[in-house]
Amino acid sequence: MAKRKGKTVILDTKPSIIGNAAAVGKKESEGPLGKEFDKVYEDTTLGEECWEKAESGLLKTAVCTAIEKAGKALYEIDVAYSGDLLNQCIGSTFGLRELKLPFCGLYGACSTMALSLIQASLAIESGGFDCTLAATSSHFCSAEKQFRYPLEYGGQRPPTAQWTVTGSGAVVLERKKGDYPYIDSIHIGTIQDLGVTDANNMGAAMAPAARSTISDFLRDTSTGPSDYDLILTGDLGAVGSELLKELLMKEDGIDISAVHKDCGLLIYDREAQDVHSGGSGCGCSASVLCSYILNGMRKGEYGNILFIATGALMSPVSSREGESIPGIAHLVNIRRERSK
Amino acid sequence: MAKRKGKTVILDTKPSIIGNAAAVGKKESEGPLGKEFDKVYEDTTLGEECWEKAESGLLKTAVCTAIEKAGKALYEIDVAYSGDLLNQCIGSTFGLRELKLPFCGLYGACSTMALSLIQASLAIESGGFDCTLAATSSHFCSAEKQFRYPLEYGGQRPPTAQWTVTGSGAVVLERKKGDYPYIDSIHIGTIQDLGVTDANNMGAAMAPAARSTISDFLRDTSTGPSDYDLILTGDLGAVGSELLKELLMKEDGIDISAVHKDCGLLIYDREAQDVHSGGSGCGCSASVLCSYILNGMRKGEYGNILFIATGALMSPVSSREGESIPGIAHLVNIRRERSK
> Which residues does chain A have within 8 Å of residue B318's beta carbon, measured at their own beta carbons?
52, 88, 90, 93-94
pLDDT at B254 over 50: yes
pLDDT at A340 over 70: no
The CA distance from B68 to the nearest CA of chain A, in Å, is: 20
pLDDT above 70 covers what percent of chain A? Answer: 99
Q: Where are the domains of chain B?
A: 3-174, 182-335
pLDDT at B340 over 60: no
Cross-chain residue pair A107–B106, CB shorter than 8 Å: yes
Please name the amino acid found at residue A162: Q
CATH number of the B182-335 domain: 3.40.47.40
Query: What's the pLDDT at B108?
Result: 97
ipTM attached to this prediction: 0.97
Instruction: Report, as an integer, the average pLDDT of A316-328.
Output: 94
Residue A284's alpha-carbon distances to A25, A28, A266, in angstroms, are: 11, 9, 9
Alpha carbons B211 and B192: distance in angstroms, whole number: 10
CA dihedral of B114, B116, B117, B122, whole degrees rounded to 10: 120
Cross-chain residue pair B1–A96, CB shorter than 8 Å: no
Chain A's closest residue to B187, CA to CA, is: A102
Nearest to A132 by CA among A59, A68, A67, A185: A67
Residues in CB range of B222: below 8 A, 6 or more apart: none
Query: What's the pLDDT at B77?
Result: 98
DSSP class of residue B226 equals: G
- Interface mutation target, options A49, A101, A104, chain B, most CBs of B under 10 Å: A104
Backbone angles phi, psi at B184, to 5 degrees: -85, -45
Using DSSP's 3-state secondary structure scheme, residue B316 falls into helix
Average pLDDT taken over every residue of chain B? 95
In three-state form (DSSP H/G/I as H, E/B as E, the rest C), the secondary structure along A276-301 is CCCEECHHHHHHHHHHHHHHHHHCCC
Alpha carbons B202 and A86: distance in angstroms, whole number: 21
Alpha carbons A58 and A56: distance in angstroms, whole number: 5
pLDDT at B338 over 50: no
Instruction: Establish how many alpha carbons lie within 13 A of residue A296's alpha carbon, considering only the half-sphere containing its beta carbon.
Output: 17
| Domain A15-174 superfamily per CATH | Stage V sporulation protein AD (3.40.47.40)
What's the alpha-carbon Rg for chain A, to the nearest Å?
Answer: 18
- Interface mutation target, options A88, A115, A282, chain B, most CBs of B under 10 Å: A88
The answer to whether the CB of B262 falls within 8 A of the CB of B202 is no
CA dihedral of A91, A96, A102, A105, whole degrees rounded to 10: -10
Chain A's closest residue to B112, CA to CA, is: A105
pLDDT at B9 over 80: yes
Please name the amino acid found at residue B285: S
pLDDT at B150 over 60: yes
The answer to whether the CB of B96 falls within 8 A of the CB of B59 is yes
Backbone angles phi, psi at B48, to 5 degrees: -90, 165
* pLDDT (tens digit per residue) in A118-152: 999 999 999 999 999 999 999 999 998 898 877 77
Backbone angles phi, psi at A203, to 5 degrees: -55, -45
Nearest to B278 by CA among B28, B35, B23, B22: B28
pLDDT at A339 over 50: no
Q: What is the number of residues in chain B? A: 340
* pLDDT (tens digit per residue) in B292-329: 999 999 999 999 999 999 999 999 999 999 999 999 99
pTM: 0.97
Strand blocks (E) in chain A: 3-5, 8-10, 16-25, 39-41, 79-84, 103-105, 131-138, 163-164, 167-174, 182-187, 230-233, 260-262, 279-280, 304-312, 327-335
The sign of the dihedral angle between the CA atoms of A191, A192, A197, A203 is negative
Q: Can you state the angle between helices B202-221 and B237-252, rounded to 10 degrees?
A: 40
Cross-chain residue pair B105–A108, CB shorter than 8 Å: yes
Q: Tell the CATH topology of B3-174.
A: Peroxisomal Thiolase; Chain A, domain 1 (3.40.47)
> Which residues does chain A have within 8 Å of residue B191's beta carbon, measured at their own beta carbons?
93, 96-97, 100, 103
pLDDT at A266 over 90: yes
Query: What's the pLDDT at B284?
Result: 98
Strands A230-233 and A167-174: unpaired
The answer to whether the CB of B164 falls within 8 A of the CB of B24 is no
Please name the amino acid found at residue A271: E
The answer to whether the CB of B26 falls within 8 A of the CB of B44 is yes
> Which residues does chain B have within 8 Å of residue A146's beta carbon, measured at their own beta carbons?
317
Cross-chain residue pair B127–A1, CB shorter than 8 Å: yes
Please name the amino acid found at residue A110: C
Using DSSP's 3-state secondary structure scheme, residue B188 falls into coil
Helix spans in A109-151 (H): 112-125, 140-147
Res. A199 pLDDT band, cuts 50 70 90:
confident
Query: What's the pLDDT at B20?
Result: 98
Nearest to B187 by CA among B215, B207, B206, B228: B215
